[in-house]
Amino acid sequence: MIAAIIQARTGSSRLPNKIFKLIEDKPLIGHITERVKRAKLVDRVIIATTTNPSDNSVEEWCNENNIAVYRGSENDVLNRYYSAAVAFGATVVVRITCDDPFKDPGIIDEVINYFLENELDFASNNNPPTYPEGLDVEVMSFKTLEIMEQHAETEFEREHVTQYVYKNPGLFKIGNYPYFTNLSKLRWTIDTDKDLEMARAVYARLYPQSPFFSYKDILKLIEQQPEITEINQNEKRSTLYN
């Protein structure tokens, strides 16, 4: 069973409660979940949140919207992923973060297919990065996730889930699925108010006509209206993206 596990919590330090920020009258978590559910190769979508009482709202939202939910450690995100995979019987895990409003089901399917066809232990599309920041996908076998759970020791590895693989490439059969040109300078994620403003600008122009617009639609839009990318172009990028 291929499970897309979306890590989500309300305690973001840079933009608190961002997963419930509204974009076109729907919370960010709703847009991301619906987009991931449209990936044809994903059998189940699971929200992995924390046991912190502040995340009761996440569980309540999942129950109201008939979305599978697992609650685990707030800081040991790797264990949260592993435990969620065990709880729902996942054999392949797709890692999704809940701050990327433009997650593309087509790209998710392409990376999963690449993972399966090449019989990999771990596949991503961001090592090195070529897609816009925010279209990241990581796919791993349950065995790979279990090895990470058993052997990752540092706080950094436990918090950032897949860093053990990147630091120990000789232990795994790893593949990267690149875009044909480098678009990694484009920032399509939400960490700040400016990022949220940019996402809302894109949705306002595309969502009413096509709720599940693709990354190609965004590229066409920003070619026509480059001022949209200027909204958040000065926001600091994640150091993990280097």
The predicted pLDDT at position 240 comes to 53
Q: Whose CA is closest to 44, among 62, 58, 61?
A: 62
Domains, the chain: 2-241 (3.90.550.10)
pLDDT for the residue numbered 15:
86
Q: Virtual CA dihedral for 91, 143, 108, 236, nearest 10 degrees?
A: 140
**Burial degree of 102 (CB within 10 A; 0-12, 13-18, 19+):** buried
Q: Digits of tens for pLDDT over the chain (242 positions)?
A: 999 999 999 987 778 899 999 999 999 999 999 999 999 999 999 999 999 999 999 999 999 999 999 999 999 999 999 999 999 999 999 999 999 999 999 999 999 999 999 999 999 999 999 999 999 999 999 999 999 999 999 999 999 999 999 999 999 999 999 999 999 999 999 999 999 999 999 999 999 999 999 999 999 999 999 999 999 988 776 555 44
Type and span of the H or E element at 133: none
For the stretch 123-126, contacts whose Cβ atoms lie closer than 8 Å and that sit 24 or more positions apart, written own/partner, are 123/174, 123/175, 123/176, 123/177, 124/162, 124/174, 124/175, 124/176, 124/177, 125/176, 125/177, 125/178, 125/179, 126/176, 126/184, 126/241
pTM of the model: 0.94
User: For the residues of 197-232, what is the DSSP string, one character each?
Assistant: HHHHHHHHHHTTT-TT--HHHHHHHHHH-THHHHTS
Exposure string over 165-189, b if 16+ CB within 10 A, otherwise e? beeeeeebebbbbeeeeebbebbbb
46, amino acid identity: I
